[in-house]
Homo-oligomer: A and B are copies of this chain.
Amino acid sequence: MSYVAPLKDMLFAITELAGIDRLSGLPGCEDATSDTARAVLEEAARLHEDVLAPLNIDGDRNPSAWQDGVVTATPGFKDAFRQFAEGGWQGLQHPSGYGGQDLPKLLSTPCIEMLNAANLSLGLCPLLTDGAIEALLTAGSEEQKQRYVPKLISGEWTGTMNLTEPQAGSDLALVRTRAEPQADGSFKLFGTKIFITWGEHDMATNIAHLVLARTPSAPEGVKGISLFLVPKFLVNEDGSLGERNDVHCVSIEHKLGIKASPTAVLQFGDHGGAIGYLVGEENHGLEYMFIMMNAARFAVGVQGVAISDRAYQHAVAYAKERVQSRPVNGSAKQSVAIIQHPDVRRMLSTMRALTEGARALAYVAASHCDFAHRHPDEATRARHQAIYEYLVPIVKGWSTEMSLEVTSLGVQVHGGMGFIEETGAAQYYRDARILPIYEGTTAIQANDLVGRKTARDGGEVAALLLAQIDATLAEIEAHASYRSSAAFQAMYRHLSSGRDALNSAVRFVVEHVRRDPNAVFAGSVHYLTLAGIVLAGWQLARSLVLAADKRDEDLAFYDAKIATAHSYATQLLPRALALEASIRDARDGEGVLALREDQF
């Protein structure tokens, strides 16, 4: 099943919802216009549709393979990655001074979506390299930047993030990898890192591992973690490759999905010590790692959108082709394509509405990030940064959980064929399952949303967003279409309830987090889900108004936008009611925490 990048939907989200034209007024963004967007996306679509997408199923059938420490990527991947790199796609969002394109996040985001929809396993390699680039640009020395970043941007080398150890998953305080200082200012690293995505492979000539480790004098816990750069091959003064470093891949995992992406166990220092270079200041590793993590978390959220869209496209194609049973309303005497059956339509509408809602939310978040980095006014920058940071755990947590539902519906639409691997729908179901886990599980995202993003400012940013929802509600109610349009009325009704539910949840979090943290954190995933449902619904409410206004320009396209928003309003926004009721009833930790540890 081929993938077709939804260019029109993407451009609608970029132009109408995220308002790219407001971006182009910012310094350095003069070129960020709808026309640029179209040109970039069309170019990206060609590569991803033609080269990367067809390899997706190959990667599942013929995963990356390990032998004697060497990992060979699925046949075709090396060449596809070379084309990706040569096209400049790795450098999209990185500074032109290092060979990048310096495009705003609002334009790199749809490209990242395409990459991951085309090939999630392959897409992980550039995703991790982006993280390594950002860490080096933020905290690396000038020499490190000059020596590594251009090679990473050109795709000659790739990057990794080495956080997890067998005993240290979500809890980085438990990291044990040691870094011993050497006379020349470098370090020797000793330890085992697990779950290292693309930690070893043959698609690039070198790999820059960014590794969390402890120096001998480091304090206990997360305050004693430093960040090190450990290249697979040492790099000579002139930039050429030197000796093989003492970091070796001792195995790769046998996984449920994303099988083409090698998940490595890396052994550092088994043969005398892996040479590493401190990045930034000692004991500040976690801080830098969070910079990488935050970018990566956003990108993983986009992966959720991406795989949902791929699963949706696959399911729609099958539902239009598969003929089975007569219509329930007796409108035909013959069997019809299953897309005509109401429940199949419900499933496809749900898949589509969730995907479009999550996409809109991610793109709008990306534009806040761009304003936060480029707006001349400091207060404006700060406001956008705060909104972006509030949205990141939602984009990561909600869009990935949402992708489980969408890929599962994708299997269901296929009936028995969905369970047969050759059909392809099952691969999305398996691949997606990692998304709510890596780069911080949904609970970790929810804790971040509750703690750093809601409780810390007393719900101030949340209130800002709620006020924007109110403005959209007012716009809907005042709109000329309101009286005659069932979609407008349904959206007004359900978004109002959703808004109230979100407000109530925010109040609950702010008021109870100190005196009853267990109750609040027991409802934290519900809160994140509720925020996702309502904020994505709000984006589709905005899309509804915009589509109604522009309807005459392109009836088919805008009517589908109106219908998608209508479907989201009636089928998805009501979930806010249930979530809010569960959060509210967690008061004193009763109910959800009623079962004690020993009762399980």
A547 CB → nearest B CB, Å: 12
Say yes or no: A419-B255 contact (C-beta < 8 A), given A170-B325, A443-B343, A570-B582.
Answer: yes
A128 CB → nearest B CB, Å: 15
Write the chain B residue with the least CB distance to A521. Answer: B342
Which residues from chain B contact A164 at a C-beta distance below 8 Å? 416
A427 CB → nearest B CB, Å: 9
User: Does A117 lie at the interface of the complex (its beta carbon under 8 Å from any beta carbon of B)?
Assistant: no
CB < 8 Å neighbour of A329 from B349, B518, B575: B518
Query: In the complex, are the beta carbons of B571 and A328 less than 8 A apart?
Result: no
User: Does A215 lie at the interface of the complex (its beta carbon under 8 Å from any beta carbon of B)?
Assistant: no
Query: In the complex, are the beta carbons of A415 and B441 less than 8 A apart?
Result: yes
User: Looking at the complex, which of A65-73, A146-154, A432-440 is the stretch in contact with chain B?
Assistant: A432-440
User: Does A235 lie at the interface of the complex (its beta carbon under 8 Å from any beta carbon of B)?
Assistant: no
Which residues from chain B contact A586 at a C-beta distance below 8 Å? 570
Query: In the complex, are the beta carbons of B570 and A577 less than 8 A apart?
Result: no
Task: Report the Cα distance A120→B345, complex, angstroms.
Answer: 31
CB < 8 Å neighbour of A575 from B254, B564, B578: B578
Query: In the complex, are the beta carbons of A569 and B595 less than 8 A apart?
Result: no
Task: Report the Cα distance A559→B519, complex, angstroms.
Answer: 20
CB < 8 Å neighbour of A436 from B352, B412, B430: B412
User: Looking at the complex, which of A84-92, A204-212, A333-341, A382-390 is the stretch in contact with chain B?
Assistant: A333-341
Some 29 contacts from A to B, beta carbons below 8 A apart, are A169-B324, A171-B325, A173-B335, A195-B416, A256-B420, A256-B426, A257-B419, A316-B600, A328-B447, A340-B597, A341-B443, A342-B519, A343-B446, A343-B521, A345-B597, A346-B592, A415-B441, A430-B430, A490-B591, A494-B585, A556-B599, A560-B595, A560-B599, A563-B596, A567-B592, A567-B595, A569-B591, A570-B590, A575-B575
Which residues of chain A have a CB within 8 Å of any CB of chain B?
A: 164, 167, 169-171, 173-174, 195, 253-257, 316, 319-320, 323-325, 328-330, 335, 337, 339-346, 348-349, 352, 404, 408, 411-412, 415-416, 418-422, 426, 429-430, 433-434, 436-438, 441-443, 446-447, 486-487, 490, 494, 517-519, 521-525, 556, 559-560, 562-564, 566-567, 569-571, 574-579, 581-582, 585-586, 588-597, 599-600
